[in-house]
Every structure is written in structure tokens, then in C-alpha cells.
Amino acid sequence: MTAASAALLTVPEVMARLKLSRTKVYDLIRTRRLVSITEGRARRIPESAVQDYIRARIAEAA
């Protein structure tokens, strides 16, 4: 595994990390609260985008 591939997560990996449903993850992507990229039919989410989402949620809660 290269550093570049480790930095990109699949939707199921994001679901597991955030403990959210597939529908909710795609909703976050659709509403641009979670950044993603696509290559063909493959959708990938940068690890940094997941961290940014978590930080934003913590800031909202504070």
C-alpha cells in the first residue's frame, strides 16, 4: 500500500470510521459537508476530509 492509497478511503471505510449509514455518508457528500473525488465509478474520500468533518462537528457542538 502506498502513501497515496492510504490517504484515500472508500465509502464503506468512512461508514465504519464515522459509524454512519451508507445513505448518511452519501448525503454528507451530496451536501458538500464531506469532500470526495471520483475516478470513473470509484468514489474516494481523503482522510483529511474525514478529519475536517469531525473537527467541524466538534466546533458546532461547542
What tens digit of pLDDT does each residue of 3-50 get? Answer: 655 699 999 999 999 999 999 999 999 999 999 999 999 999 999 999
The Cα–Cα gap between 33 and 56 comes to: 9
- CB neighbour list of residue 22: distance below 8 Å, 6 or more residues apart: 11, 12, 15
Residue 29: the pLDDT is 98
Q: Residues 18, 25: contact at Cβ < 8 Å?
A: yes
Residue 62: the pLDDT is 86
